[in-house]
Amino acid sequence: MNATTVAVDLAKSVFQLAAAHASPGLDVKLLPAQYIHAYVKRNRTDAAYAAALLEAARASDILPVRVR
């Protein structure tokens, strides 16, 4: 599986992954949590947030958080 976008939602005891298929590459972005809520389409579960992260990563209007 070649994925260019992989979204990871971390919780206390589990984590959820969502991936988009395309050519391989690695570009890590930390997205601000307050903007992800607009992309949640169904119940507030870890899987729903992982899918929302994937959609938000594709949006050009969300700037990633700078890592210090």
Mean pLDDT by 10 residues, the chain (68 residues): 67 72 65 83 81 81 78
DSSP 8-state secondary structure symbol assigned to residue 39: G
Determine, yes or no, domain membership for 34: yes
Domain with 9 in it: 3-58
Q: How many C-beta neighbours within 10 Å does residue 29 have?
A: 13
Residues comprising the chain, all counted? 68
Its sign, for the CA torsion 30, 14, 47, 1, is positive
- What gap in Å lies between CA 18 and CA 25, rounded to an integer? 16
Please give the pLDDT value at position 12: 74
Determine, yes or no, domain membership for 45: yes
Determine, yes or no, domain membership for 64: no
0.85 surpassed by pTM: no
Please give the pLDDT value at position 59: 79
The number of domains in the chain is: 1
Determine, yes or no, domain membership for 63: no
Q: Give how far the C-alpha of residue 53 lies from the chain's centroid of Cα atoms, to the nearest Å.
A: 2
